[in-house]
Homo-oligomer: A and B are copies of this chain.
Amino acid sequence: MSSTYRGKNLTLTVFGQSHSSAIGAVLDGVPAGFHPDMDKLQSFMKRRAPGQNKMSTQRREADVPEILSGLAGGATCGAPLAFMIRNTDQRSNDYAEICDAPRPGHADFTAHVKYGGHNDVAGGGHFSGRLTAPICAAGGVLLQYLRDHGVTVAAHIENIGKAADVRFDAANVTGDELDALLRKDFPVIDDSAADRMAEEIEKARLAADSVGGVIECAVCGLPAGLGDPMFDGIENRLAQALFAIPAVKGVEFGAGFAVADMLGSENNDPFFMDGDTVRTKTNNHGGILGGITSGMPLIFRIALKPTPSIGKEQDTVSLSNTENTRLTVKGRHDPCVVVRAVPVVEAVAALVLADLMIG
């Protein structure tokens, strides 16, 4: 494993398995003297917590992180922040079968090969979406830090299956609009999209199936000049970190894959003076040119595959008998992880961006 993200100033180390006695994270490099607001952190983490509604897994966990260290008198003291969440609701028996028959779409098979059969299969082990909880604990603190420095990060569901929200107005989205988005129960810009998305999810659930989606994230308030090309530019770093979220299969910035079908004269964003500030009229570049922030809103999108755990019977193999077999995945599963992934995307973006805002 390599579960440490090393930025320029921040280092995040994630530990735990779905069914280990605890999961957690260590975040090193937060400037001393910062007071995390624990209530806000709790609210933030609740956005990804399971068991909130019929759209997500029925597993219910408090997911209240204990901060083991890193604070003195309620403020960061320079020492690493350590977060721990106890695993209290475990049903390992559900996973007995999959030790031998890897679930299609999961890491069971590849982990089996890499770890010589010693990988922790229960609940997906270290590959479980549950590991995004400590990422949210750390990222939630960093989102507060960014907010204190004038930077707002907010994501919405661009689509779930066929049900689509509108996109951000990339050149004009404001921090206030992002704030409004963050206050919503269901993270879409066009509220009418929420019902259509719920329908898509329900349809998949009833079919013992699952459905994927796209999350779009915007960041307002970043100064121009952040990023270290060629290998540590904003896109390099964000992409590296975002692929740590389970189920992500694509990342794009600004106009993204649509640039392939554009002319230079369409794609180039003309500069203009907005008072004393250099801005661009359009924002196909997504706030990043040459790997460096331009001061325009940073815009990116990630594609999330449908939850691989589905109720339908599937073809797979028996690793011990090296023969074909069939498998029905038991246990509780989200028909769609996209909703709960929205705060995770914000958390990961905060990790990468706060790292560059510090110092």
Contacts and interface: CB of A to CB of B under 8 A. Distances in A.
Interface in A72-108: 72, 75-82, 84, 102, 104-107
A29 B1 contact: yes
Contacts of A286: 249
B118 A77 contact: yes
A127 B246 CA distance: 32
- Kindly state the interface size class of chain A when it binds its partner: 35 or more
B210 A271 contact: no
Contact of A4 (B4, B118, B248): B4
A357 interface: no
Q: What number of copies of this chain does the assembly contain?
A: 4
Contacts of A54: none
Contacts of A110: 224-225, 227, 288-290, 292-294
Contacts of A241: 231, 236
Query: Would you list the 10 A-B pairs with minimal beta carbon distance, nearest first?
Result: A107-B290, A250-B252, A210-B264, A32-B115, A2-B228, A270-B315, A79-B126, A2-B232, A110-B292, A72-B120
Among A237, A246, A317, residue most surrounded by chain B Cβ atoms (within 10 Å):
A317
Interface string A221-263: 0001111111111011101111110101111111111111111
A172 interface: no
Given A239-B251, A250-B253, A278-B322, 9 more contacts: A21-B68, A23-B68, A72-B119, A77-B120, A107-B291, A110-B288, A212-B267, A235-B248, A236-B244
Given A22-B69, A249-B286, A291-B243, A229 B2 contact: yes
A125 B236 contact: no
